[in-house]
Chains A and B, each alone.
Chain A
Amino acid sequence: MFALDAAAHTGVWRSRHPAEKALLSLGLLACAVILPPWPGAALSGAAAVVLLVGPARVAPAVVLRAARVPLLFVATSTVPLLVTMPAPARVTLDPAGPALAAQTAGRSVAALACLLLFSATTPLSDVLPRLHRLGVPPAVSEVAALTYRMLFLLMESARAVRAAQAARLGFRTWRAAYRSVAGQAGAVFVRAFDRARRLEEGLALRGYTGSLAVQVEALPVSPPFVAATVGLLAAIVAATVLVAPTW
């Protein structure tokens, strides 16, 4: 299982309605992206981090591990913002570069914290059956739900095949490593289509008519949670307008 999805399934906010968590985390994400980096994005990011490790009780190690790859992208793609190219093959430091780089990296890190707040508190299995209420065609949301269900089985298959190949020195040379990775992809393809065929047969035997609708657990929406969220978002917008009135 993916660490963020596992945290969402086992977290203290598991029984909250996904719309509440979406309003909070995506509202903060919108503030982080739309408002000026200082203080809008900084406040949104700080609020997301406090909520993640505070009330949502997500382990900091899970958050840090999930943030590693996107932070590497932010670090790498911030380097070109520090320099300018006045002529081909000539690179000099841009005096305005550090400010732009800090603003961009700050906005991205803050937005990442908001995304992690959503990911680590809201299981996708709660979101996908409700997507049709947002106008997504049922066929598309059902394909997404099937993809989600098969993911774990296939990831586990790929992991098992990789472990078996590694135990047989399958990654000793470059040639062997490529052959082994191709073997993993082939095994996953065969398993995926075999699984689809078995599902198809099972559904046909149960009188499948084309609808894969599942029962969605009815979760109450908490008015105090929604009110607190709206209050927090309004406070962030108000603080930004006060500190950066020219925005």
Chain B
Amino acid sequence: MHIAEGYLPPVQAAAWFAVSAPFVVHGSRALVRQVRQDPETKLLLGAAGAFTFVLSALKIPSVTGSCSHPTGTGLGAVLFRPPVMSVLGGIVLLFQAVLLAHGGLSTLGANIFSMAIIGPWVAYGVYLLVRRAGGGLGVAVFAAAALGDLATYCVTSAQLALAFPDPSTGFAGALAKFGGIFAVTQIPLAVSEGLLSVLVIRLLTRTSGDDLRRLGVFRAAEVRA
């Protein structure tokens, strides 16, 4: 769910850039270090960025009857880790703004915060929690993708509520209004994205075991190469 170009007041738009900047700078430094140690990583990261973009452009059937697009942040975080996703997500969001007019340049900071920072970190945290609690791979990936998507939607609603508080009940009332109106599409979409991510991971463990091992996603025993 991208906040459209110019939708946020200028001060809020600038504030979200300031909030997102440390995460993107940290991710960029990690990426630069990684590329310096192993220059070939650059090509894999380019492939990962392109995969994330295409993943977010796939049409998945939605419970509301229409088609929607996944955010791709949950699966991306499990495959490529959150610090890298903050940079790759930023690049993907910039491309989506310029190539598709989804999101925008003035709202890039806010969209990076919800989709490239909070979404991936929540997804990866949930993935680790479920795995450490003994949950299966499918359960962990479903929970990561669905909750990562939901976290993105909640943060976007909070960003809009902060920008446009309700005249009577302030932030809480505005959060209920924005959350309520987007819940119709976003909750079914989160479930759809969770299901899709499980199917994708199952497929990848069968067809791309070496790549998953190279990415350090799964233990060798989990991959039926």
Contacts and interface: CB of A to CB of B under 8 A. Distances in A.
- A and B bound? yes
Nearest to B11: A34
A151 B99 CA distance: 11
A183 B45 CA distance: 22
A244 interface: no
A177 B195 CA distance: 12
A112 B104 contact: yes
Name B's interface SS: helix
Contact of A208 (B39, B102, B168, B200): B39
A83 B101 contact: no
A177 B61 contact: yes
Given A150-B47, A209-B39, A76 B60 contact: no
Interface stretch (B15-23, B28-36, B112-120, B129-137): B28-36
Contacts of B42: 139, 142-143, 146, 210, 212
A42 interface: no
A56 B195 CA distance: 44
Given A2-B100, A144-B49, A146-B43, A29 B105 contact: yes
Nearest to B61: A177
Contacts of A85: 166, 168-169, 173, 176-177
A220 interface: no
Interface string A44-72: 00000000000000000000001101110
A247 interface: no
Interface in B174-221: 174, 176-178, 181-182, 192, 195-196, 199-200, 202-204, 207-208, 211
B61 A154 contact: no
Contacts of B31: 137, 139-140, 143
Nearest to A210: B39
Size class of the B contact interface (CB-based, 8 Å): 35 or more
A7 to B, nearest CB: 11
B101 A29 contact: no
A70 B53 contact: no
A167 B11 CA distance: 50
B211 A111 contact: no
A29 B32 CA distance: 31
A102 interface: no
A113 B38 CA distance: 42
Contacts of A73: 1-4, 7
A116 interface: yes
B61 A112 contact: no
B54 A154 contact: yes
A197 B6 CA distance: 40
Nearest to B195: A178
Contacts of B7: 73-74, 77, 104, 107-108, 111
A230 B172 CA distance: 43
A240 interface: no
Contacts of A124: 95, 98-99
Nearest to A127: B98
A196 B105 contact: no
B97 interface: yes
A224 to B, nearest CB: 26
Interface in A139-198: 139-140, 142-151, 153-155, 158, 174, 177-179, 181-186, 188-190, 192-193, 195-197
Contacts of A142: 42, 46
A243 interface: no
Given A107-B6, A118-B98, A140-B28, A150 B50 contact: yes
A86 B169 contact: yes
Nearest to A142: B42
A29 B31 CA distance: 31
17 contacts: A69-B101, A80-B160, A80-B178, A85-B169, A112-B104, A119-B101, A137-B32, A140-B28, A143-B42, A143-B88, A147-B95, A150-B49, A150-B50, A154-B50, A154-B54, A174-B61, A208-B39
Interface of A: 2, 4-5, 26, 29, 32-34, 41, 66-67, 69-71, 73-74, 76-77, 79-81, 83-88, 91, 94, 96, 100, 104, 107-112, 114-116, 118-119, 124, 127, 137, 139-140, 142-151, 153-155, 158, 174, 177-179, 181-186, 188-190, 192-193, 195-197, 199-200, 203-204, 208-210, 212
> 10 closest Cβ contacts across the A-B interface?
A111-B6, A146-B46, A182-B199, A147-B49, A210-B39, A150-B50, A80-B177, A196-B47, A186-B203, A85-B173
